[in-house]
Amino acid sequence: MRYYLSIEKNIAVFEQYKALWSARGIIGIRANTMTEGIEKAIEIENNKSNDLFFIDIVADDIDYMAQLKILSEATNAPILIATSNPDDKEHHQALNNGADFYGKYCETTEQNIEAVISAISSIERRAKKQGFSSEIMIYSGIMLTPSYRNIIFINEKEVELFKIEFDILYFFMENCGKTLTYEQIYKNVWHEDYDETAKNAVWAAVGRLRDKLKAALNGTDYIETVRDVGYRFRYLSN
Protein backbone atom coordinates (compact mmCIF):
# COMPACT_ATOMS: atom_id res chain seq x y z
CA MET A 1 0.00 0.00 0.00
CA ARG A 2 1.13 3.54 -0.68
CA TYR A 3 0.67 6.14 2.03
CA TYR A 4 1.35 9.77 2.73
CA LEU A 5 1.61 11.21 6.20
CA SER A 6 0.36 14.72 6.94
CA ILE A 7 1.39 16.33 10.21
CA GLU A 8 -1.26 19.00 10.77
CA LYS A 9 -4.08 19.99 13.09
CA ASN A 10 -6.78 20.97 10.58
CA ILE A 11 -8.87 17.82 10.13
CA ALA A 12 -11.20 19.37 7.54
CA VAL A 13 -8.35 20.38 5.23
CA PHE A 14 -6.71 16.99 5.67
CA GLU A 15 -9.91 15.20 4.67
CA GLN A 16 -10.17 17.36 1.56
CA TYR A 17 -6.68 16.44 0.40
CA LYS A 18 -7.07 12.84 1.52
CA ALA A 19 -9.95 12.38 -0.94
CA LEU A 20 -7.88 13.79 -3.81
CA TRP A 21 -4.86 11.64 -3.01
CA SER A 22 -7.10 8.59 -2.62
CA ALA A 23 -8.17 9.06 -6.25
CA ARG A 24 -4.50 8.60 -7.11
CA GLY A 25 -4.26 5.40 -5.08
CA ILE A 26 -2.45 6.94 -2.13
CA ILE A 27 -3.87 6.62 1.40
CA GLY A 28 -3.64 9.61 3.73
CA ILE A 29 -2.73 9.36 7.41
CA ARG A 30 -2.84 12.35 9.74
CA ALA A 31 -0.74 13.05 12.83
CA ASN A 32 -1.58 15.83 15.26
CA THR A 33 1.97 16.36 16.59
CA MET A 34 5.56 15.72 15.52
CA THR A 35 5.96 12.94 18.06
CA GLU A 36 2.87 11.18 16.74
CA GLY A 37 4.13 11.72 13.18
CA ILE A 38 7.51 10.17 13.95
CA GLU A 39 5.81 7.19 15.58
CA LYS A 40 3.54 6.63 12.58
CA ALA A 41 6.40 7.07 10.09
CA ILE A 42 8.43 4.39 11.89
CA GLU A 43 5.42 2.07 11.95
CA ILE A 44 4.94 2.40 8.18
CA GLU A 45 8.68 2.08 7.46
CA ASN A 46 8.87 -1.11 9.52
CA ASN A 47 6.14 -2.74 7.42
CA LYS A 48 8.06 -3.72 4.30
CA SER A 49 4.88 -4.24 2.28
CA ASN A 50 4.01 -0.54 2.67
CA ASP A 51 5.42 2.49 0.91
CA LEU A 52 5.52 5.91 2.58
CA PHE A 53 5.29 8.14 -0.47
CA PHE A 54 5.94 11.42 1.34
CA ILE A 55 5.47 13.34 4.59
CA ASP A 56 4.12 16.86 4.64
CA ILE A 57 4.25 19.20 7.61
CA VAL A 58 1.89 22.15 7.84
CA ALA A 59 4.26 24.72 9.28
CA ASP A 60 1.49 27.21 10.04
CA ASP A 61 0.13 25.21 12.97
CA ILE A 62 2.86 22.69 13.87
CA ASP A 63 5.94 23.50 15.97
CA TYR A 64 8.15 21.18 13.97
CA MET A 65 11.73 22.44 13.87
CA ALA A 66 13.07 20.93 17.12
CA GLN A 67 12.10 17.38 16.09
CA LEU A 68 12.62 17.65 12.32
CA LYS A 69 16.05 16.04 12.41
CA ILE A 70 14.64 13.07 14.34
CA LEU A 71 11.87 12.65 11.77
CA SER A 72 14.47 12.72 9.00
CA GLU A 73 16.39 9.93 10.74
CA ALA A 74 13.21 7.90 11.18
CA THR A 75 12.24 7.63 7.52
CA ASN A 76 13.44 7.38 3.95
CA ALA A 77 10.37 9.26 2.70
CA PRO A 78 10.68 12.83 1.34
CA ILE A 79 9.78 15.46 3.94
CA LEU A 80 7.97 18.50 2.59
CA ILE A 81 7.30 21.68 4.59
CA ALA A 82 4.29 23.76 3.50
CA THR A 83 3.60 27.26 4.74
CA SER A 84 1.51 30.28 3.86
CA ASN A 85 4.23 32.64 5.13
CA PRO A 86 7.67 31.57 3.85
CA ASP A 87 10.69 32.81 5.76
CA ASP A 88 14.25 32.62 4.41
CA LYS A 89 15.81 31.83 7.79
CA GLU A 90 13.26 29.09 8.48
CA HIS A 91 13.75 27.77 4.95
CA HIS A 92 17.50 27.29 5.43
CA GLN A 93 17.08 25.86 8.91
CA ALA A 94 14.45 23.37 7.74
CA LEU A 95 16.66 22.08 4.93
CA ASN A 96 19.65 21.84 7.28
CA ASN A 97 17.55 19.85 9.75
CA GLY A 98 16.45 17.23 7.24
CA ALA A 99 13.57 18.60 5.17
CA ASP A 100 13.73 17.91 1.44
CA PHE A 101 11.48 20.78 0.37
CA TYR A 102 10.17 24.01 1.87
CA GLY A 103 7.62 26.10 -0.01
CA LYS A 104 4.52 28.24 -0.10
CA TYR A 105 1.04 26.91 -0.73
CA CYS A 106 -0.30 27.21 -4.27
CA GLU A 107 -3.65 28.85 -4.97
CA THR A 108 -5.65 25.62 -5.40
CA THR A 109 -5.60 22.14 -3.91
CA GLU A 110 -4.90 20.56 -7.31
CA GLN A 111 -1.95 22.88 -7.83
CA ASN A 112 -0.65 21.90 -4.40
CA ILE A 113 -0.87 18.22 -5.29
CA GLU A 114 0.95 18.76 -8.57
CA ALA A 115 3.62 20.75 -6.73
CA VAL A 116 4.10 17.87 -4.29
CA ILE A 117 4.45 15.36 -7.13
CA SER A 118 6.99 17.60 -8.89
CA ALA A 119 8.97 18.05 -5.68
CA ILE A 120 9.04 14.30 -5.02
CA SER A 121 10.19 13.59 -8.58
CA SER A 122 13.03 16.07 -8.08
CA ILE A 123 13.98 14.54 -4.73
CA GLU A 124 14.00 11.02 -6.16
CA ARG A 125 16.46 12.10 -8.83
CA ARG A 126 18.91 12.98 -6.10
CA ALA A 127 20.81 10.37 -4.14
CA LYS A 128 18.51 8.35 -1.91
CA LYS A 129 18.79 8.72 1.81
CA GLN A 130 20.53 6.05 3.84
CA GLY A 131 18.49 3.69 6.04
CA PHE A 132 16.38 5.03 8.88
CA SER A 133 17.35 4.83 12.51
CA SER A 134 15.89 1.99 14.57
CA GLU A 135 17.12 3.58 17.81
CA ILE A 136 14.42 6.22 18.17
CA MET A 137 12.26 5.36 21.16
CA ILE A 138 8.74 6.70 21.72
CA TYR A 139 7.08 5.66 24.94
CA SER A 140 3.89 7.08 26.42
CA GLY A 141 4.69 10.71 25.63
CA ILE A 142 8.48 10.41 25.95
CA MET A 143 10.72 10.39 22.88
CA LEU A 144 14.48 10.06 22.72
CA THR A 145 17.17 9.19 20.22
CA PRO A 146 20.94 8.71 20.66
CA SER A 147 21.45 11.51 18.13
CA TYR A 148 20.39 13.92 20.91
CA ARG A 149 22.57 12.93 23.83
CA ASN A 150 21.24 15.51 26.29
CA ILE A 151 17.74 16.33 25.01
CA ILE A 152 14.54 14.31 25.18
CA PHE A 153 11.00 15.31 24.24
CA ILE A 154 8.09 14.91 26.62
CA ASN A 155 4.70 15.74 25.15
CA GLU A 156 6.41 17.84 22.44
CA LYS A 157 8.52 19.87 24.91
CA GLU A 158 12.30 19.68 25.19
CA VAL A 159 13.74 18.43 28.47
CA GLU A 160 17.48 18.66 29.06
CA LEU A 161 19.27 15.78 30.76
CA PHE A 162 22.85 15.10 31.79
CA LYS A 163 24.47 12.32 29.75
CA ILE A 164 24.28 9.84 32.65
CA GLU A 165 20.57 10.60 33.11
CA PHE A 166 19.97 10.15 29.38
CA ASP A 167 21.80 6.81 29.36
CA ILE A 168 19.84 5.58 32.37
CA LEU A 169 16.54 6.55 30.74
CA TYR A 170 17.57 4.82 27.50
CA PHE A 171 18.43 1.66 29.46
CA PHE A 172 15.14 1.85 31.36
CA MET A 173 13.11 2.26 28.16
CA GLU A 174 14.94 -0.65 26.52
CA ASN A 175 13.89 -2.79 29.48
CA CYS A 176 10.46 -1.38 30.23
CA GLY A 177 8.60 -3.40 32.86
CA LYS A 178 11.69 -5.33 33.97
CA THR A 179 13.25 -5.03 37.40
CA LEU A 180 16.80 -3.75 36.95
CA THR A 181 19.30 -4.16 39.77
CA TYR A 182 21.66 -1.42 40.90
CA GLU A 183 24.51 -3.52 39.54
CA GLN A 184 22.90 -3.94 36.10
CA ILE A 185 22.24 -0.21 35.85
CA TYR A 186 25.75 0.74 36.92
CA LYS A 187 27.51 -1.69 34.60
CA ASN A 188 25.37 -0.78 31.59
CA VAL A 189 25.53 2.99 32.10
CA TRP A 190 28.87 3.70 33.78
CA HIS A 191 30.64 0.69 32.17
CA GLU A 192 32.66 0.08 35.31
CA ASP A 193 32.92 -2.71 37.85
CA TYR A 194 30.25 -2.54 40.51
CA ASP A 195 30.85 -2.20 44.25
CA GLU A 196 28.70 -0.99 47.11
CA THR A 197 29.85 2.61 46.73
CA ALA A 198 28.48 2.56 43.15
CA LYS A 199 24.95 2.23 44.52
CA ASN A 200 25.12 5.83 45.74
CA ALA A 201 25.94 7.03 42.23
CA VAL A 202 22.93 5.15 40.87
CA TRP A 203 20.65 6.54 43.59
CA ALA A 204 21.74 10.12 42.90
CA ALA A 205 21.44 9.92 39.11
CA VAL A 206 18.09 8.13 39.14
CA GLY A 207 16.81 10.66 41.68
CA ARG A 208 17.71 13.57 39.38
CA LEU A 209 16.17 11.81 36.38
CA ARG A 210 12.98 11.05 38.32
CA ASP A 211 12.63 14.69 39.39
CA LYS A 212 13.00 15.95 35.80
CA LEU A 213 10.51 13.43 34.42
CA LYS A 214 7.96 14.16 37.13
CA ALA A 215 8.29 17.91 36.57
CA ALA A 216 7.62 17.46 32.84
CA LEU A 217 4.81 14.96 33.42
CA ASN A 218 2.84 16.93 36.01
CA GLY A 219 3.97 14.72 38.85
CA THR A 220 3.50 11.34 37.14
CA ASP A 221 6.26 8.94 38.19
CA TYR A 222 7.42 6.33 35.69
CA ILE A 223 10.25 5.01 37.87
CA GLU A 224 9.28 2.46 40.50
CA THR A 225 11.72 1.72 43.30
CA VAL A 226 12.13 -1.99 44.00
CA ARG A 227 13.32 -2.02 47.58
CA ASP A 228 16.85 -3.35 48.17
CA VAL A 229 17.06 -4.41 44.52
CA GLY A 230 16.89 -1.51 42.05
CA TYR A 231 14.27 0.08 39.81
CA ARG A 232 11.53 -0.76 37.33
CA PHE A 233 10.38 1.56 34.53
CA ARG A 234 6.62 1.20 34.42
CA TYR A 235 4.28 1.55 31.45
CA LEU A 236 1.73 4.29 32.04
CA SER A 237 -0.80 4.77 29.24
CA ASN A 238 -1.57 8.28 27.99
Total domains present in the chain: 2
Domain harbouring 95, CATH code: 3.40.50.2300
Q: 88 and 167, same structural domain? A: no
Residue 236 has pLDDT above 70, yes or no: no
Least confident of 7-16, 144-153, 198-207: 144-153
pLDDT tens digits, residue range 171-213? 999 899 899 999 999 999 998 888 878 999 999 999 999 999 9
Are 120 and 180 members of one domain? no
Residue 125: per-residue pLDDT: 64
* Residue 101 and residue 21 in one domain: yes
Domain extent at residue 202 = 148-233
CA–CA distances in Å: residue 200 to residues 43, 46, 190: 39, 40, 13
Q: Are 3 and 52 in contact (CB under 8 A)?
A: yes
Among the candidates 94, 125, 156, a domain finishes at 125
Whether 29 and 116 share a structural domain? yes
* Statement to judge: residues 38 and 113 lie in one domain: yes
90 in Cβ contact with 41 (< 8 Å): no
Task: Return the bridge partners of 54, or none.
Answer: 4
Which pTM value belongs to this model?
A: 0.72
CATH code of 166's domain? 1.10.10.10
Higher pLDDT, 123 or 164: 164
Q: Is residue 16 situated within a structural domain? A: yes
User: Cα(208)–Cα(216) distance, rounded to whole angstroms?
Assistant: 13
Distance CA 164, CA 147 (A): 15
In 3D space, the residue among 126, 63, 68 whose CA is nearest the CA of residue 98 turns out to be 68
Query: Is 182 found in the same domain as 120?
Result: no
